[in-house]
A and B are shown apart, each in its own frame.
Chain A
Amino acid sequence: MAASEQEILEGLAEIVNEETGIPTSDVQPDKSFTDDLDIDSLSMMTIVVNAEEKFGVRIPDDDVKGLSTVGDAVSYIQKASS
Chain B
Amino acid sequence: MTTTSLTDSQRVVVTGLGATTPLGGDVPSTWQALLAGKSGVAVLTQDWVESLPVHIAASAAVDPSETLERVEVKRNDRSGQFALVASREAWADAGSPDIDGDRLGVVIATGIGGVLTTLANYDLLREKGARRVHPLAVPMLMPNSAAAHVGLDLGARAGVHTPVSACASGAEAVSYAVDMIRGGRADIVVAGGTEAAIHPLNMAAFAQMQALSTRNDEPERASRPYDKGRDGFVLGEGAGVLVLETLEHARARGATVYAEIAGAGITSDAHHIAAPDPVGRGATRAMQFALKAAGLAPEQIAHINAHATSTPTGDVAEAKAIAGVLGDAVGTPCVSATKSMTGHLLGAAGAIETIFTVLALRERTAPPSVNLDDPDDEVRLDVVRGEPRRLPDGPLAALNNSFGFGGHNVALAVRSVDQ
Cβ of B136 and Cβ of A21 under 8 Å apart? Answer: no
A18-B74, A19-B74 as given contacts; A49 in contact with B69, CB under 8 Å: no
> Interface digits, B67-106 against A, CB 8 Å rule (1 contact, 0 not)?
0011100100000000000000000000000000000000
Q: Which residues of B are found within 8 Å of A20, using beta-carbon distances?
A: 71
A81 contacts the other chain (CB 8 A): no
Q: Which residues of B are found within 8 Å of A21, using beta-carbon distances?
A: 69-71
* CB < 8 Å A-B pair total: 22
Cβ of A46 and Cβ of B70 under 8 Å apart? Answer: no
Cβ of B135 and Cβ of A46 under 8 Å apart? Answer: yes
A10 contacts the other chain (CB 8 A): no
CB contact list, B95-145 vs A, under 8 A: 131-132, 134-136, 139
Q: Which residues of A are found within 8 Å of B139, using beta-carbon distances?
A: 42
Cβ of B135 and Cβ of A45 under 8 Å apart? Answer: yes
Cβ of B71 and Cβ of A49 under 8 Å apart? Answer: no
Q: Which residues of A are found within 8 Å of B71, using beta-carbon distances?
A: 19-21
CB contact list, A37-62 vs B, under 8 A: 42, 45-46, 49, 52-53, 58
How many chain B residues touch A (Cβ–Cβ < 8 Å)?
Answer: 10
How many chain A residues touch B (Cβ–Cβ < 8 Å)?
Answer: 11
Cβ of A49 and Cβ of B131 under 8 Å apart? Answer: yes
CB distance from B139 to the nearest CB of A (A): 8
CB distance from B123 to the nearest CB of A (A): 15
Q: Which residues of A are found within 8 Å of B136, using beta-carbon distances?
A: 42, 46
A58–B135 Cα distance when bound, in Å, is 16
Cβ of B69 and Cβ of A53 under 8 Å apart? Answer: no
A19–B136 Cα distance when bound, in Å, is 11
A52–B135 Cα distance when bound, in Å, is 13
Cβ of B70 and Cβ of A52 under 8 Å apart? Answer: no
Cβ of A46 and Cβ of B132 under 8 Å apart? Answer: no
> Interface digits, B14-54 against A, CB 8 Å rule (1 contact, 0 not)?
00000000000000000000000000000000000000000
| 6 closest residue pairs by CB, A with B | A45-B135, A21-B71, A46-B135, A42-B135, A42-B136, A46-B136
Q: Could you list 4 further interchain pairs (A-B, Cβ under 8 angstroms) beyond the known A18-B70, A45-B135? A: A18-B74, A21-B69, A46-B134, A58-B131
Which residues in A have some Cβ–Cβ distance to B below 8 Å? Answer: 18-21, 42, 45-46, 49, 52-53, 58
Selected A-B contacts with CB under 8 Å, 10 pairs = A18-B70, A19-B71, A19-B74, A20-B71, A42-B135, A42-B139, A46-B136, A49-B135, A52-B131, A53-B132
Which residues in B have some Cβ–Cβ distance to A below 8 Å? Answer: 69-71, 74, 131-132, 134-136, 139
